[in-house]
């Protein structure tokens, strides 16, 4: 079967004539063409009669117009392709007959005209005149970039440094002298697929859809951010209410303990107005004074509360007090265990500098002597019951993680 089209071996485009192949070559720099028995499609719209050369073009036509019915007239329009390049008939010189045979002397070949300014720039860049002229001619004579790209793609061609020649009677001009390299690429795609792949309507539609997608995504992210903020706010409110309940419970328990110990309230403003009335109704009996054990426990609680930001320091103070009390209980006759220098740096760091440390030792029987320089527990004032109770309270304070919380 005879060839009905020319196929570009570089991109696969089907072209109906030699002219189209030449234009395709000039725009894309493709040079590998061969005859093909595959005809260029001719899909004619039944509604408006527009011919479409490819399925892509018909799909875009349907999208733009809504027309869906096409008649395939490819077989009707397909005809054997002529590989002869049409030549201009010069009646005055009688150079060609109608059948294309030469009737006189061979055609004169000349160097094609190219943009002189671009040619000078290419020569200034180091290209030879022949290479620069060839690059400008075959790249469309449009820009320096297109010419340089053509040279890079064809630098291994055997005739790269030969001056190009065209028939003298052929008007040589750039196919699209005003096109930019980007426009040349788009035109090459038009030749390949037979349709403008980026029509203005489709381009605008894509822009609109893109903007809508971005706006939808922004709104979704904004709603998700608002939802998370509302959730965090609700969690903080719930946490705040829980903390307030715990604080109220602690205040009530603290007021109750101070009442049992016979101590006045720390701040009357924090005591609920109903509390005194309830207490008065509970019993008319006099409040008993707090025992020494209760005073020790309250002293340790106060120490922990006053230094609640440093658990390690509180625990070290409790362990140091337990060591002092234990040494006296085990060795009541040893004066060195019953006498503590107050200005001793180790004692100050561990116990003396903490509110409640010295008070606890005084509850155990220690007294300040020699102008407050020492804490001393006289032998006759050593009470094993008191020391054992102090040791039990200290052990509880050390081992109970909730000690002093309530």
- What CA–CA distances, in Å, run from 356 to 208, 233, 257? 74, 40, 17
Q: 273 and 329 in one domain? A: no
Q: Which of 256, 278, 300 is the last residue of a domain?
A: 278
With contact defined as beta carbons under 8 Å apart, do 347 and 380 qualify?
Answer: no
pLDDT over threshold 70, residue 94? no
Helices (H), 35-128: 55-65, 74-77, 116-124
Specify whether the CB–CB gap between 258 and 295 falls below 8 A. no
Q: Is the domain of 249 the same as that of 307? A: no
The C-alpha angle 49, 11, 18, rounded to 5 degrees, equals 65
The residue that leads in pLDDT, 237 or 280, is: 237
**Residue 248 located in a structural domain:** yes
pLDDT digits (tens, 9 = 90+) for 294-313: 888 888 888 888 888 888 88
- Note whether 305 and 260 are same-domain residues: no
The reply to whether 83 falls in a domain is no
Query: pLDDT over 90 for what percent of the chain?
Result: 3
- 203: pLDDT strictly greater than 80: no
Residues 315 and 379 reside in one and the same domain? yes
296 or 210: whose pLDDT is higher? Answer: 296
pLDDT, tens digit, 9 for 90 and up, residues 111-162:
888 888 889 888 888 888 889 898 888 888 878 888 888 888 888 888 888 8
Is 268 found in the same domain as 301? no
The stretch 27-52 carries a mean pLDDT of: 82
Q: Say yes or no: 311 and 274 in one domain.
A: no
Rounded to an integer, the average pLDDT of 256-263 is 80
The region that residue 63 occupies, defined by phi over 0 for left and psi between -120 and 50 for alpha, beta otherwise, is: alpha
Structural domain range at position 270 = 202-278
Point out the least confidently predicted range of 89-93, 257-261, 366-370. Answer: 89-93
Q: How many CB atoms lie within 10 A of CB 352?
A: 20
Average pLDDT of the residues in 157-177: 70
pLDDT of residue 56: 78
Q: What is the pLDDT of residue 161?
A: 86
Is 241 inside a domain boundary? yes
What span, in angstroms and rounded, lies between the C-alpha atoms of 29 and 405? 86
* pLDDT above 50 (res 92): no
Crossing angle of helices 144-154/129-138, nearest 10°? 110
The last residue of one of the domains, among 278, 301, 321, is 278
Mean pLDDT in residue range 78-105: 54
Shared-domain flag, residues 337 and 262:
no
Better pLDDT: 54 or 404? 54
**Mean pLDDT along residues 159-181:** 66
Res 376: pLDDT = 92
Q: Which of 108, 80, 82, 73 is nearest to 93 (CA)?
A: 108
């Amino acid at each position: 079967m005879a060839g009905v089209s020319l196929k570009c071996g570089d991109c696969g485009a089907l072209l109906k004539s030699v002219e189209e192949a030449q234009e395709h070559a000039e725009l894309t720099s493709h040079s590998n063409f061969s005859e093909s028995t595959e005809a260029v499609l001719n899909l004619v719209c039944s509604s408006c009669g527009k011919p479409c050369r490819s399925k892509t073009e018909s799909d875009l036509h349907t999208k733009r117009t809504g027309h869906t019915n096409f008649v395939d007239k490819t077989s009707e329009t397909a005809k054997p392709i002529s590989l002869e390049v049409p030549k201009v008939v010069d009646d005055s010189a009688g150079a060609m007959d109608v059948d294309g045979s030469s009737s006189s002397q061979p055609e004169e070949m000349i160097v094609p005209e190219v943009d002189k300014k671009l040619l000078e720039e290419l020569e200034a860049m180091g290209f030879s005149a022949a290479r620069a002229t060839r690059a400008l001619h075959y790249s469309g004579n449009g820009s320096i970039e297109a010419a340089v790209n053509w040279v890079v793609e064809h630098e291994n061609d055997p005739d790269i440094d030969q001056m190009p020649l065209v028939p003298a009677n052929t008007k040589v001009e750039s196919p699209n002298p005003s096109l930019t390299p980007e426009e040349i690429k788009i035109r090459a795609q038009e030749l390949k697929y037979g349709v403008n792949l980026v029509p203005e309507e489709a381009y605008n539609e894509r822009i609109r859809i893109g903007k809508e997608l971005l706006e939808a995504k922004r709104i979704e992210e904004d709603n998700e951010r608002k939802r998370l903020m509302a959730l965090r706010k609700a969690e903080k409110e719930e946490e705040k209410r829980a903390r307030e309940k715990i604080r109220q419970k602690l205040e009530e328990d603290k007021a109750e303990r101070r009442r049992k110990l016979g101590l006045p309230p720390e701040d009357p403003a924090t005591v609920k107005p109903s509390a005194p009335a309830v207490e008065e109704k509970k019993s008319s009996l006099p409040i008993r004074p707090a025992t020494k054990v209760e005073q020790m426990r309250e002293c340790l609680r106060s120490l922990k509360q006053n230094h609640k930001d440093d658990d390690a320091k509180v625990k070290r103070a409790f362990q140091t007090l337990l060591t002092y009390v234990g040494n006296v209980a085990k060795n009541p006759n040893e004066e060195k265990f019953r006498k503590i220098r107050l200005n001793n740096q180790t004692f100050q760091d561990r116990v003396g500098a903490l509110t409640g440390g010295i008070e606890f030792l005084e509850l155990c029987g220690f007294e300040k002597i020699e102008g407050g320089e020492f804490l001393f527990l006289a032998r006759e004032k050593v009470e094993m019951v008191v020391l054992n109770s102090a040791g039990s309270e200290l052990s509880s304070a050390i081992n109970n993680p909730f000690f002093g919380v309530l």
